[in-house]
Amino acid sequence: NEACMLQLEVTRYGQDEALVIVRDITRLHNLEQMRRDFVANVSHELRTPLTVIAGYLETLQSSDMAPPAWKRPLTQMEEQAARMTSLVNDLLLLARLETSERKNGDMAVAVTELIERVAQEARSFSGGRHHIEVQCDTNTSISGDPGELHSAFANLVLNAVKYTPEKGEIHLRWRQDNQGGHFSVEDNGIGIDLIHIPRLTERFYRVDPGRSRDSGGTGLGLAIVKHVLLRHNAEMGVESTPGQGSLFTLHFPVGKLTSKATPAVNSEA
């Protein structure tokens, strides 16, 4: 009497013939659920010990208890603890996005404010090494989850900074047409070879693992973007040329948007 999960595949042949394939995917579904629960539980359990380790490392660094020769190893330990914390946080977020229903329903998220916020975060992450420009044609609200939308927008913009050499140009744009609203992030960075593009949203898929790790990447950013988009009926497009740069665009359907009569925003830094 256990709940059963069936997958139906219908192929039509002409007017009155069809091939119907019914697959029992209960076991597969349960295994997938177990994998998600396991990852979420492990990530959750790792959080507390990590906080304690990072806390003591910080105390040791800032006090003069540690001899000077410890300075470098302590800095490296702190960096690795921070990397692990990002990884655990991203794994937890992904687990939540994959499994849970949104509890509080949708809110109206003001797009220009959101884009200005992620632009500021990217400017401080870049430390003035990139030129980051914002251009929003209309001030719109997206009906959705503010935290999730922030994660999706921020991951794209921080990636543009990570994968664009110093003095690079990054453009954040918002425009609307009768198809919906479109948020794009364009950079003139290292670009991505065409063969990698279909796999970018897989967990831990990286074109260059060394470069991703050096820039603080967890390999989960675009997987998070994909799941946020699924929850907002939105889609992502990627165009890229190695050595020239990339363009990531998020497309939100008309039904998810409401327009506001406030002025549009343009900023540069």
Tokens of 117: 């916020």
Q: Binding of ligand ADP at residue 168 (CB under 6 A)?
A: no
Q: Binding of ligand ADP at residue 180 (CB under 6 A)?
A: no
DSSP 8-state symbol, 208? S
- Is 216 within 8 Å of 88 (Cβ atoms)? no
Cβ proximity to ligand ADP: between 176 and 186 the closer is 186
Q: Binding of ligand ADP at residue 183 (CB under 6 A)?
A: no
Closest CA to 166 of 182, 188, 197: 188
The DSSP bridge partners found for residue 266 are: 135
Q: Binding of ligand ADP at residue 186 (CB under 6 A)?
A: no
Cβ proximity to ligand ADP: between 71 and 211 the closer is 211
Cβ proximity to ligand ADP: between 66 and 207 the closer is 207
Among 141, 187, 226, 234, indicate the residue that binds ligand ADP (CB under 6 A).
187
According to DSSP, the β-strands at 17-24 and 169-177 are unpaired
Residues of this chain, 197-256, that bind ligand ADP according to CB under 6 A: 200, 205-208, 212, 217-223, 246
**At residue 65, what is the residue type?**
M
Cβ proximity to ligand ADP: between 29 and 96 the closer is 96
Q: How far is CA 128 from CA 69, 169, 190, in A?
A: 32, 11, 19
Residues of this chain, 52-81, that bind ligand ADP according to CB under 6 A: none
Among 136, 152, 163, 226, indicate the residue that binds ligand ADP (CB under 6 A).
163
Q: Residue 125, SS3? A: helix
- The shares of helix, strand and coil residues in the chain, as percent rounded to the nearest 5, are 45, 25, 25
Q: Binding of ligand ADP at residue 174 (CB under 6 A)?
A: no
- 183 vs 140: CA distance, rounded Å: 11
**At residue 158, what is the residue type?**
L
Among 43, 126, 139, 155, indicate the residue that binds ligand ADP (CB under 6 A).
155
Residues of this chain, 87-146, that bind ligand ADP according to CB under 6 A: none
Closest CA to 158 of 192, 132, 178: 132
DSSP 8-state symbol, 100? P
Of 9-17, 123-131, 145-153, 157-165, which part binds ligand ADP (CB under 6 A)? 157-165
Cβ proximity to ligand ADP: between 139 and 212 the closer is 212
- The separation between CA 262 and the C-alpha centre of its own chain, rounded to angstroms, equals 28
Closest CA to 142 of 268, 233, 10: 233
Cβ proximity to ligand ADP: between 43 and 159 the closer is 159
Min CB(269)–ligand ADP separation in Å: 19
Cβ proximity to ligand ADP: between 148 and 187 the closer is 187
Interacting residues toward ligand ADP by CB under 6 A: 155, 159-160, 162-163, 187, 189-192, 200, 205-208, 212, 217-223, 246
